[in-house]
Structure 1
Amino acid sequence: MITVENLTKRYGSHAAVDDVSFTCPPGTVTGFLGPNGAGKSTTMRMICGLTTPTTGTATIGGVPYRRLGNPGRLIGVLLDASAQHGGRTGREVLALAALVMGVRTSAAGPALERVGLDASAARKRVRRYSLGMRQRLGLAHALIGDPTVLVLDEPANGLDPEGIFWMRGLLRDFADGGGTVLLSSHLLREVEAVADHLVVIGAGRVVASGTRDELLSTAGTLVRALDPAALRDLLDRAGLSFSPATDGGFVVTAPAETIGRAAAAAGVVLLELRPAGAGGLEQKFLELTR
């Protein structure tokens, strides 16, 4: 299990991460979401021992990363797909990682095959890899120690649709086998398809967390009208809490029946009235981080 407790990182007076707490249980994929600059990467770097917290703790199986004897055998990390020596071949990168972790260098070949890099790619210098190939190599690097935990920052960046579908299956299989996955990504529909739990961060703080179904079921009611200004006035007069949504609509914290009756009484023509959760994670993310 990954456990983050009251994690804070300050740079002078600026809090990049501010009192963040969450857990990632075994057997699950946790989607870690937030806009650029929200503190996701800083949090992940603190989990992996690359950045020292100002306060708070981050542990893997109850132990801080820096105190793990051979961390690559417990936790696989991919934070930057470009952080590979450009002059080495793909096979050399993995063989060196295997040596450091005490794994047989013969594991490099199967690891490359597992992520879809063939013999030609294995012989190619990393500087000649596309971004998608670097992502696959980074995943192979994270997996070669046969870890039980994966921490991945934007692993689908640069992958084509087929590659994204493949990665979704890989992560789902890893979690279904008892592994723990912490996944940061801006591809919200892919996160929605694979994640069991969601943690949403904004301005360095957790703004929402829970299971995917819990978060999407509390999204409120989406309503759009022929006259958006008249609808806004109606919601104001009715004392209903609402926030702007896409396409001129509003997400209202009230049942659909309440909104529909109020609109009918006021003569406001509605074009759409449905649970906001039907808009999926993308709609919920925009509401939480607006």
Structure 2
Amino acid sequence: MIAVEHLTRRYGRHTAVDDVSFHCAPGTVTGFLGPNGAGKSTTMRMICGLTPPSAGGATIDGLPYRRLPSPGRVVGVLLDASAQHAGRTGRESLAVAAATMGVDRHAVLPALRRVGLDATAARRRVRAYSLGMRQRLGLAQALLGDPRVLILDEPANGLDPEGIFWMRGLLRDFADRGGTVLLSSHLLREVEAVADRLLVIGGGRLVAQGDKDELLAGGGTLVRARDTAALRGALDSAGLTVADGTDGLLVRAPAEVVGRAAVDAGVVLTELRPAGSAGLEQLFLTLTADTPTREAVR
């Protein structure tokens, strides 16, 4: 279980994460979504004890990360695949991690094989790894202690389509066996395929959270007209939140309200329907349309 309660992080006058609360339950994959600079990475760093919160807190299995007696045995973390010693081999990197966690060194090679790194890759220096190979090595380290929880920030970055498909299966299997996964990713279609629950953050605040199917069913309205500029003007005049979608304009309002705004402005519509049927991408665009980037540049 991951429990986040009123988590806040300020940098001077700037608030990077603002009163964020959520739970991730065993047996689920939770997709953590948001634009660049929305506060995802800062939130995950606070959960893992790397960034101290200004207010609130986070626990994993009832304890803050720093108070876990053997963190690697409880939670596997992958926040930055490039943060690995470039001069070590893949096998050496995992051997050091195993010694730190108190894991039997004989678990190293099976862990590498589990993520698709063979004996040749195990002997290669990390500096010669591609980004995708570094992601696999980082995931092997996260899994090495046989944890009950995984916290992963953009783990599919650099993977080819086959690798992304493989990772989806690995995470789904982990959760189906009772594990808890918190997954941040910009690959919305992959998150939609594997996640049970969604968290959407924008401007440092959660703008939506809940069951994936329920959120997709209530994702606003998709609307199109022959005169897109006139339609946007009518919606703006009605005080509605509008974003550009892949198939039209996305409006965070019921279809009846959107249609009335168009009728009042004399705009002829060519399409008006719930946006949920268009998937996670359009839901994401709708929810984050009016959220500014607030994460500090450090």
Q: What TM-score results when the alignment is normalised by the length of structure 2?
A: 0.90
Partner residue, 1:179: 179
CA deviation vs aligned residue, 1:36-81 (integer Å, no higher than 9, x gap): 1111111111111111111111000110000011000000000010
Q: Is the 8 A contact 1:240 1:253 kept in 2?
A: no
* Structure 1 range deviating more: 168-177 or 278-287: 278-287
Opposite residue 13 of structure 1, the aligned amino acid is: R
Partner residue, 1:58: 58
Question: What is the alpha-carbon distance in structure 2 between the residues aligned to residue 134 and residue 252 of structure 1?
Answer: 39
**Structure 1 residues 252 and 57, CA gap change in structure 2 (3 angstroms):** closer
* Structure 1 range deviating more: 94-103 or 167-176: 94-103
Counting aligned pairs with the same residue, the percent is 73
Question: What is the alpha-carbon distance in structure 2 between the residues aligned to residue 3 and residue 276 of structure 1?
Answer: 31
Partner residue, 2:67: 67
Q: Is the 8 A contact 1:256 1:273 kept in 2?
A: no
- How big is the shift at 1:106? 0.7
Partner residue, 1:210: 210
- How big is the shift at 1:272? 2.5
- How big is the shift at 1:182? 0.5
- How big is the shift at 1:230? 4.6
The runs of 5 or more residues in structure 1 that have no matched partner are: none
* Structure 1 range deviating more: 268-277 or 133-142: 268-277
Question: What is the alpha-carbon distance in structure 2 between the residues aligned to residue 181 and residue 117 of structure 1?
Answer: 22
Question: What is the alpha-carbon distance in structure 1 between the residues aligned to residue 99 and residue 57 of structure 2?
Answer: 30
- How big is the shift at 1:259? 3.2
Q: Is the 8 A contact 1:240 1:252 kept in 2?
A: no
Partner residue, 1:285: 284
Partner residue, 1:276: 275
Question: What is the alpha-carbon distance in structure 2 between the residues aligned to residue 28 and residue 157 of structure 1?
Answer: 22
Opposite residue 185 of structure 2, the aligned amino acid is: S
**Per the alignment, in what secondary structure is the counterpart of residue 279 of structure 2?**
helix
Question: What is the alpha-carbon distance in structure 1 between the residues aligned to residue 282 and residue 272 of structure 2?
Answer: 15
Partner residue, 1:138: 138
- How big is the shift at 1:231? 3.8
Partner residue, 2:152: 152
Opposite residue 55 of structure 2, the aligned amino acid is: T
- How big is the shift at 1:136? 0.1
Once the two structures are superposed, the pairs formed by residues 242-253 of structure 1 within 5 Å of their partners are 243-246=242-245, 248-251=248-251, 253=253
**Structure 1 residues 114 and 243, CA gap change in structure 2 (3 angstroms):** same
Question: What is the alpha-carbon distance in structure 2 between the residues aligned to residue 118 and residue 47 of structure 1?
Answer: 32
Partner residue, 2:4: 4
Question: What is the alpha-carbon distance in structure 2 between the residues aligned to residue 221 and residue 240 of structure 1?
Answer: 15
Partner residue, 2:170: 170
**Per the alignment, in what secondary structure is the counterpart of residue 253 of structure 1?**
coil
Opposite residue 208 of structure 1, the aligned amino acid is: A
CA deviation vs aligned residue, 1:191-214 (integer Å, no higher than 9, x gap): 111111111111111111111112
The runs of 5 or more residues in structure 2 that have no matched partner are: 290-298
- How big is the shift at 1:134? 0.2
Question: What is the alpha-carbon distance in structure 2 between the residues aligned to residue 157 and residue 47 of structure 1?
Answer: 21
Question: What is the alpha-carbon distance in structure 1 between the residues aligned to residue 22 and residue 223 of structure 2?
Answer: 33
**Per the alignment, in what secondary structure is the counterpart of residue 42 of structure 1?**
helix
**Structure 1 residues 233 and 47, CA gap change in structure 2 (3 angstroms):** closer
Question: What is the alpha-carbon distance in structure 1 between the residues aligned to residue 187 and residue 119 of structure 2?
Answer: 30
**Structure 1 residues 249 and 39, CA gap change in structure 2 (3 angstroms):** closer
CA deviation vs aligned residue, 1:137-179 (integer Å, no higher than 9, x gap): 0000000000000000010111011111111111011001100
Q: Is the 8 A contact 1:33 1:40 kept in 2?
A: yes
CA deviation vs aligned residue, 1:91-149 (integer Å, no higher than 9, x gap): 11111111111111010111011100111001101110000000000000000000000
